[in-house]
Amino acid sequence: MDINKIIFSRTAPGKKVEIVKALSISQLLSITPEAITRMVKETGSSISKSRNKELRISSDLRTGNNWNSEIEGVRLYKGHLSVDFYLQFENTDTNTNDSLENFLNKGDYRGSVIRSDRYGNDRHYYFTYNEADKTEFVKSLLLEYLNRKYKDRLS
């Protein structure tokens, strides 16, 4: 079952949601950047009156690594896809982003951000995503796309 074709096929929206929820890890991770680009273009919102778009995942569908971060959405900026992360560490929180291609590569994803502590010393903060975390992200992204595109038919 190819998710890249099914998500844009003429199947009933309710059936698409059922299919997405039943997909395996390998099927979810087989999604292509072209399919994600199309989803962002179709249902994403414009960023400051430009051709750039952003598909924010609603708070009830957001997923993370069950530790210190969650994914807020996907951004298409000048033709390149990136993932937006929300991080919590020690006494503050921050947002960062990285290339979607880097994030979806095989194996675990390890990201880091450098922030200054209260004394002005640079500190590294790390966050990791394993294959299961990545599949939950792809599943939530697909469900967000379907909910936005077919909101009148899925209610």
Determine contact, residues 64/57, Cβ cutoff 8 Å. no
pTM comes to: 0.92
Say how many domains are in the chain. 1
Q: Which domain holds residue 108?
A: 3-154
d(CA 139, CA 149): 15
Determine contact, residues 138/28, Cβ cutoff 8 Å. yes
d(CA 33, CA 74): 11
Q: What is the pLDDT along the chain (155 residues), one digit of tens a residue?
A: 799 999 999 999 999 999 999 999 999 999 999 999 999 999 999 988 889 999 999 999 999 998 889 999 999 999 999 999 999 887 778 899 999 999 999 999 999 999 888 888 998 889 999 999 999 999 999 999 999 999 988 87
Provide the token pair at 64. 């993370």
